[in-house]
Amino acid sequence: MSFQFTGLAEKLRRAKHPELYEDDEEEEKEEVRDDGLEIPTPGTFRPEEIEEDDPNEDSLSDVDITYPLVPEDPDKGETVYAWAHITWVEEEGELIYKVIEPDLDPHTERILEKIRKLLERSFDVDFTDLETEEAEDYLSDKIDHIVDKYNISLTENQREVIRYYAKRDFAGLGKLQPLMNDTEVEDISCDGTDIPVYAYHRNPKFGSIKTNIEWNDPEELDSFVMKLSQRCGRSISVSNPLLDGSLPDGSRVQATLATDIARKGSNFTIRRFTEDPLTPIHMMDFETENAQMMSYLWTLIEHEKSVLVCGTTGAGKTSQLNALSLFIRPDKKIVSIEDTPELRLPHDHWVPEVARSGFGSSVEEGGEVSMDDLLKESLRQRPEYIIVGEVRGEEAYILFQQMATGHTGLSTIHADSLDMLMDRLTTNPINLSPSLIETLDAIVLIKRIRRNDKYIRRITGIYEVEGYEKRTGIEANKVFDWDAQTDNYELVNNSVLLKDIVNETGGNDEDLKKELKNRQHVLNWMQEEQIKHYRDVGDVISRYYSDPQSILEDVGESLNPRQNQLGLKD
Ligand SMILES: Nc1ncnc2c1ncn2[C@@H]1O[C@H](COP(=O)(O)OP(=O)(O)OP(=O)(O)O)[C@@H](O)[C@H]1O
Ligand SMILES: [Mg+2]
């Protein structure tokens, strides 16, 4: 208590002899910094100061959308078994994603239970080995067989409902399956029992929303996580409770089995696989970057500059890496190395490799082959480009070493600023030396941001690495910047790397400028024409490399006559 008395005594002294303290107060005032924001003192409540919601703005409480999940894309007249209904729930004060499935009357439910048990006993196949359609046909046959054999009386409607639930639970992922069908969902996460499953929706206004799916029985959740790991071809157990894998459809799974390390119960996160990877044109549609930035990155990648994409979890790093890799000339040899297979490239000369973890891998798979092993090995494959899905540890060191020996490296890393990136690169476990850091050419910083009630992804900076010194840190030339106030990109500096390219190729500034412009036209044209599937974008880029004139004719632009000097034509 004594400190309170000291404070009181001090106050009394100040009140009695203010003149003794005047200087102190002035000094204190001077210390107030003018680059910060003053925190207001509590004031009187004035209802008139409360800003009314703009009635013209769509508010979340008006959201009420419904779309089919099973099947995702029904033909006219086709039965829809499961729907997504996203709506504002007044009592919860938030948006809820409701999965709506067929009702089960008590009679049908009893029969379903019985059929389930009989099915479990009669399985002679492993569903993980079957294609979805094969599994569905197989199940339908089995159900029909059981219904006939046991003379179960069912209406056609009840039979359909039973087929739906049996398929969902045996061939699919049970109650999570309808969500897995939703291409609008990026991530699905479950933090434990008695907590709703959350879905991260692509609609920029929604973000992460609660669903009506929940596990209340810990054992049921445990067995679901086991099922997930089985589907990933891995094993998970109390002694080995972590799972990192991918489902047959390509979705990435991280899960922890309930143990002392997961005290709320088992948990999992699924990054849903997108049928087709995002391309530079999608990125421009989302305004994650503009044609000017894309044409610049295109040119860097073509000229074998090494680029690192940095951002936090789910910022869009892997998608960015995949999109940028489309700019690699189609004849170049690419080796990609990943923990879980996420990259998809249209290149013929692409060798995708995936590390195999020793932990949790199935017996048939054999021993561990780490990212480092694959990277070391990749040197012998003589790739011109090495793409590493994400660097975290020792593999970063090997990648930078390979970059130092003349390979072009493209990769991502978890860091949300340049400082944090340097911190990660120079400390354990990565521990790069300054000379290795200098082998990196450009850094692309990507962020997921909430702006004006919308979730957006923006490239907040593109930097060129000029040098690195232990004492002073990184010397980087920021070429592009993003202004959060206006949501615009700004070219803030001339590019040193482009100048290097001019020097390396023996061209001149004007030619390269014209070339960058032409690429912007090509990108804008693809956007206008909505050519954005990765194979189509790959085709245009490939044609542009081999015959720029023909693409520019489509675009309506003329070719720079001296373009060949820059080595743009084979
Ligand atoms: N620029 C973008 N605009 C809109 N959606 C995007 C963008 N980039 C990625 N996405 C979507 O966001 C999700 C996460 O993207 P991605 O896997 O690339 O992120 P990440 O940063 O690599 O995540 P992690 O840290 O988990 O590896 C995906 O569903 C993807 O389709
Ligand atoms: Mg990623």
CATH architecture entry for 280-562: 3-Layer(aba) Sandwich (3.40)
Q: Which ligand is closest in space to the CA of residue 315?
A: 1
The 10s digit of each residue's pLDDT in 522-531 is 999 999 999 9
Could you report the per-residue pLDDT of 319-372, keeping only the tens digit for each?
999 999 999 999 999 999 998 899 999 999 999 999 876 554 444 556 788 888
229 Cβ contact partners less than 8 Å away, ≥ 6 residues apart: 235, 236, 243, 245, 253, 255, 360
Q: Is the Cβ–Cβ distance between 413 and 396 less than 8 Å?
A: yes
Nearest CA owner, ligand 1 atom 12: 316
pLDDT at 121 over 90: no
3-state secondary structure of 205: coil
**Residue 382: what pLDDT?**
85
Residue 229 in tokens: 């790991």
Share of the chain above pLDDT 90, in %: 63
Ligand 1 atom nearest 321 alpha carbon: 18
Mean pLDDT of the chain: 88
Dihedral pair phi/psi, residue 207, rounded to 5°: 65, -140
For the stretch 419-441, pLDDT in tens is 999 999 999 999 999 899 999 99
How far is residue 371's CA from residue 362's CA, in Å, rounded to a whole number?
18
* Two structure tokens written together for 484: 């959060």
**What's the CA gap between 570 and 567, in Å, rounded?**
7
Q: Which H or E run contains 95?
A: strand 94-100
Burial 44-79 (b: 16+ CB within 10 A, else e): eeeeeeeeeeeeeeeeeeebeeeebbbeeeeeeeee
**How far apart (Å, rounded) are the C-alpha atoms in residues 507 and 500?**
10
Give 427's contacts (C-beta < 8 A, 6+ positions apart): none
246 vs 249: CA distance, rounded Å? 8
**455 and 448 Cβ atoms separated by less than 8 Å:** yes
- Between the alpha carbon of residue 247 and those of residues 116, 139, 228, 273, the distances in Å are 23, 20, 8, 9
The segment with the largest mean pLDDT, out of 102-116, 231-245, 451-465, is 451-465
Beta bridge partners of 354: 338
Spacing of C-alpha 31 from chain mean position: 43
Q: Worst-scoring range by mean pLDDT, 70-74, 122-126, 201-205, 279-283?
A: 122-126
Q: How far apart are CA 551 and CA 559, in angstroms?
A: 9
DSSP string, 298-341: HHHHHTT--EEEEESTTSSHHHHHHHHHTTS-TTS-EEEEESS-
The confidence score (pLDDT) of residue 5 equals: 52
Q: Would you place residue 569 in the very low, low, confident or very high pLDDT band (cuts 50, 70, 90)?
A: very low
Q: Is the pLDDT of residue 570 over 50?
A: no
Q: How many A from CA of 98 to the centre of ligand 1? A: 24
CA-based radius of gyration for the chain: 29
The pLDDT tens digits of the residues spanning 230-248 come to 999 888 998 899 999 999 8
Contact 507, 565 (CB under 8 A): yes
Question: Are 461 and 417 contacting, i.e. CB atoms less than 8 angstroms apart?
Answer: no
Determine the CATH number of domain 106-271: 3.30.450.380
Using 50, 70 and 90 to split pLDDT, how confident is the model at 3? very low
CA separation, residue 444 to residues 19, 282, 497 (Å): 57, 17, 14
pLDDT tens-place string over residues 518-551? 999 999 999 999 999 999 999 999 999 999 999 9
CA distance 331 to 347: 8
- Give the orientation angle of helix 132-149 with respect to helix 106-122, to 10 degrees: 110
Q: Which atom of ligand 1 is nearest to the CA of 283?
A: 1
Residues whose beta carbon lies within 6 Å of some atom of ligand 1: 186, 271, 274, 278, 283, 286, 288, 311, 313-319, 457
Phi, psi angle pair for 394, to nearest 5°: -60, -30
Reported pTM: 0.85
The pLDDT, as a whole number, for residue 477 is 97
Ligand 1 centroid vs 277 CA: distance in angstroms?
10
pLDDT at 184 over 60: yes
Kindly give the distance from the C-alpha atom of residue 396 to the centroid of ligand 1, in angstroms, as a whole number.
21
Tell me the pLDDT tens digit for each residue of 478-496.
Answer: 999 999 999 999 999 999 9
The residues pairing with 448 across neighbouring beta strands, listed in sequence order, are 457
pLDDT digits (tens, 9 = 90+) for 41-64: 777 767 666 666 565 567 888 999
Return the ligand number nearest the Cα of 454: 1
Domain residue extents for the chain: 1-29, 106-271, 280-562
Distance 262 CA to ligand 2 centre (A): 23
Note every long-range contact of 348-357, with CB atoms under 8 Å and residues 24 or more positions apart, other chains counting: 351/381, 351/383, 353/378, 357/244
User: Percentage of residues in the chain with pLDDT exceeding 70?
Assistant: 88
Distance CA 322, CA 377 (A): 22
Q: What is the pLDDT of residue 515?
A: 95
Residue nearest to atom 19 of ligand 1 (CA): 316
CA of 439 to the centre of ligand 2 (A): 23
Name residues whose C-beta falls within 8 Å of residue 472's C-beta, 6 or more positions apart in sequence. Answer: none
Atom of ligand 1 nearest to the CA of 314: 23
- Two tokens, residue 22: 């005047």
